[in-house]
Structure 1
Amino acid sequence: MNFSQIEAFCRVADSGSVSEAARQLECNRTKLSMAIKSLEKELGIELFVRTGNHLSLSEAGKAIYKDCDSMLVTAARIKQTCLQVSGEFNAEIWIGRDDSLPGDLWQELSHKLNNKFPATSFNIVLASSGDLANLVETGQVDYAFGVDYERIDDPRLIYQPLGKIRMMSVCKANHPLAKKRRVTDEDLLNAMQASMAYLNEKDNPELQPFSRQYIGFSSFDIMLNTILQEDAWGVLPEPLIRHFLRKEELAVIRHTYGLTQEDYCMLMATGMTEHPAIEWLTDKINDFLFDF
């Protein structure tokens, strides 16, 4: 039994498909199938139930999956520790973020990061809130920052809450919804919604559109522009819209869920050692949210 076989087993179990697992691991499909068959032969059990092109875990596969996944997490932690000791730790860092916090704040923090940690290169990419966990889980970014809609019990991820963000259901100040003393579910169902769109294949009820008619975006900022320009409503983070609320260009919808709170989190893979630059960044964001 080797780590290549265990990784092949876990990734196929996660995706339910040899082809998809091969794509994620960037390896040959035949090689992946052979690794699983070799593992099954060594263990003397079938790990998957095959139905057409779909694979699901057998009872034996379910029994060993958690231990196998934990072995991969431990191996990743060992590799990260060795890289850190050898001085090669995170010479380049990829950071995913949503736009729930103002762009000016991120621009300021990114410049300070660059000056404070000149030996490290930073790549900061914008992504939908619903995709952040998946980006970290699949190794596309090292760390992610944003509104956490998906807090799940995943041994591969660490969620570090940095503060609370108020999420507000809003519309233009002259929108019919803004004039109602009490907005019902039916009122919202019949009004155009600007909603959050994401690519992550996991269904997330909190990000599903509420209205019958909607248009989805991966950016809060584009949602905001749509709400300001069209007869639409949507749920937006307070740091992004406080200016428009004060100018009375936006109004909070008087609905049961007009105001909610979500955690703003930093996400990283289990076993990843937090880089000093990320520690500095999380402190600055925590201060901003506390003062806000």
Structure 2
Amino acid sequence: MNISQVEAFYHIAELGSVTDAARHLNCNRTKLSMAIKALEKELGVSLFVRTGNHVSLSEIGKAILKDCESLLLTRQRIHDTCAQAKGHFNAEMWVARDDSLPDEFWQDLAHTLNHDYPSTSFNIVLASSGDLANLVETGQVDFAFGVDYERFNSPSITYQPLGKIRMMSVCQFEHPLSKLRRVSDEELRSHMQALMVYLNERDNPDLQPFSLRYIGFSSFDYMLNTILEDNAWGVLPEPLIRQFLRSQKLAVIKHTYGLTQEDYCMFRSATREDHPAMSWLADKISDYLFDF
């Protein structure tokens, strides 16, 4: 049994198709099929149930899937450690973040990172909250920071909560909903809603539209603009809207779920070593959230 055979098995199992796995691994479909046959012959079991062009895991295949994933994660950890020893680690770092915290706060953090860690080039990209875990899991970024909407446990990702972030159902200060002493479900459903959507959306009941009329965005900032300009309501993070509440441009809707809390997390691959810059960044964000 070699690591290439294990990799072939894992990706076919995850994607449910030899063709898709070959495309993902950028290799020949026949080569993958031969690798699986060789692995099954050595182990003396059938790892897949084959029906036409479709494959699904056999019972023994299901039983060894997690162990195979652990082997692949261990391999990646070995590569990362060796890269660090050669001095190639952290020369460039990709960081994804959502927009639940103000841009000015992130700009200050970015300036300090560049000043205090001159040997590392930082690429900080904006992404939807729900896509952060997937960006880390697929290796598109090294670290990610934001609201953990998915709550999707994966052995390949480490989730580090940095603090609680309060989510508020808000509308314009002069919106009819802001004038009600208590807002019912029916009244809330009758008004336009601005809500969060994202590309990697799983079945998340917390993000299902509540209103009969709604418009979805992958950015809290776009949601905020729609609420301010188009007489909609929506659920936004307190750090982003505190100034609008104080200036009475926004009002909190008096609904049962008008105030909730979510975890604000740092996401990283389970195989990736800690980086002092990211530890510093996590501490700064944790201190910032403590004030809320």
Alignment TM class, shorter chain as reference: over 0.9
Give the whole-Å Cα distance in 2 for the aligned partners of 1:258 and 1:65: 42
Secondary structure at 2:209 match in 1: coil
Counterpart residue number, 2:110: 110
Return the letter of the residue paired with 2:287: D
Return the letter of the residue paired with 1:6: V
Return the letter of the residue paired with 1:81: T
Q: Tell me if the contact between 1:96 and 1:124 (Cα under 8 Å) persists in the aligned partners.
A: yes
Q: Tell me if the contact between 2:150 and 2:202 (Cα under 8 Å) persists in the aligned partners.
A: no
What does 1:21-36 align with in structure 2 at a 5 Å threshold? Answer: 21-36=21-36
Give the whole-Å Cα distance in 2 for the aligned partners of 1:127 and 1:101: 13
Relative to structure 1, is the Cα distance of residues 18 and 255 closer, same or farther in structure 2, using a 3 angstrom cutoff?
farther
Counterpart residue number, 1:56: 56
Return the letter of the residue paired with 2:56: S
2:63 aligned with 1:93, yes or no?
A: no
Q: Tell me if the contact between 1:163 and 1:264 (Cα under 8 Å) persists in the aligned partners.
A: yes
Counterpart residue number, 1:132: 132
Q: CA deviation at 1:163?
A: 0.7
Return the letter of the residue paired with 2:73: V
Q: CA deviation at 1:201?
A: 5.0
TM-score between the two structures when normalised by the length of structure 1: 0.94
Relative to structure 1, is the Cα distance of residues 36 and 208 closer, same or farther in structure 2, using a 3 angstrom cutoff?
farther
Counterpart residue number, 1:20: 20
Q: Which runs of 5+ in 2 are unaligned?
A: none
TM-score between the two structures when normalised by the length of structure 2: 0.94
Q: How many residues align?
A: 292
Q: CA deviation at 1:107?
A: 1.0
Q: Tell me if the contact between 1:97 and 1:144 (Cα under 8 Å) persists in the aligned partners.
A: yes
Q: CA deviation at 1:44?
A: 2.5
Relative to structure 1, is the Cα distance of residues 274 and 45 closer, same or farther in structure 2, using a 3 angstrom cutoff?
same
- Alpha-carbon deviations, 1:48-103, whole Å to 9, x = none? 23345543321111110111111111111122111122211121111011000001
2:209 aligned with 1:209, yes or no?
A: yes
Q: Tell me if the contact between 1:171 and 1:232 (Cα under 8 Å) persists in the aligned partners.
A: yes
Greater mean alpha carbon deviation, residues 233-242 or residues 147-156: 147-156
Greater mean alpha carbon deviation, residues 172-181 or residues 58-67: 172-181
Fraction of identical pairs, as percent: 71
Counterpart residue number, 1:167: 167
Q: CA deviation at 1:21?
A: 3.0
Give the whole-Å Cα distance in 1 for the aligned partners of 2:190 and 2:104: 35
Relative to structure 1, is the Cα distance of residues 126 and 34 closer, same or farther in structure 2, using a 3 angstrom cutoff?
farther
Counterpart residue number, 2:153: 153
Give the whole-Å Cα distance in 2 for the aligned partners of 1:188 and 1:38: 60
Secondary structure at 1:152 match in 2: coil
Greater mean alpha carbon deviation, residues 147-156 or residues 43-52: 43-52
Return the letter of the residue paired with 2:129: S
Give the whole-Å Cα distance in 1 for the aligned partners of 2:218 and 2:24: 23
Secondary structure at 2:7 match in 1: helix
Q: Which runs of 5+ in 1 are unaligned?
A: none
Q: Tell me if the contact between 2:161 and 2:265 (Cα under 8 Å) persists in the aligned partners.
A: yes
Q: Tell me if the contact between 1:129 and 1:146 (Cα under 8 Å) persists in the aligned partners.
A: yes
C-alpha RMSD of matched pairs (Å): 1.7
Counterpart residue number, 1:73: 73
Relative to structure 1, is the Cα distance of residues 180 and 53 closer, same or farther in structure 2, using a 3 angstrom cutoff?
farther
4+ aligned runs moved over 6 Å, structure 1: none
Give the whole-Å Cα distance in 2 for the aligned partners of 1:32 and 1:12: 9
Q: Tell me if the contact between 1:130 and 1:207 (Cα under 8 Å) persists in the aligned partners.
A: no
Q: Tell me if the contact between 1:169 and 1:252 (Cα under 8 Å) persists in the aligned partners.
A: yes
Counterpart residue number, 2:39: 39
Give the whole-Å Cα distance in 1 for the aligned partners of 2:116 and 2:8: 40
Counterpart residue number, 1:282: 282
Give the whole-Å Cα distance in 1 for the aligned partners of 2:20 and 2:213: 33
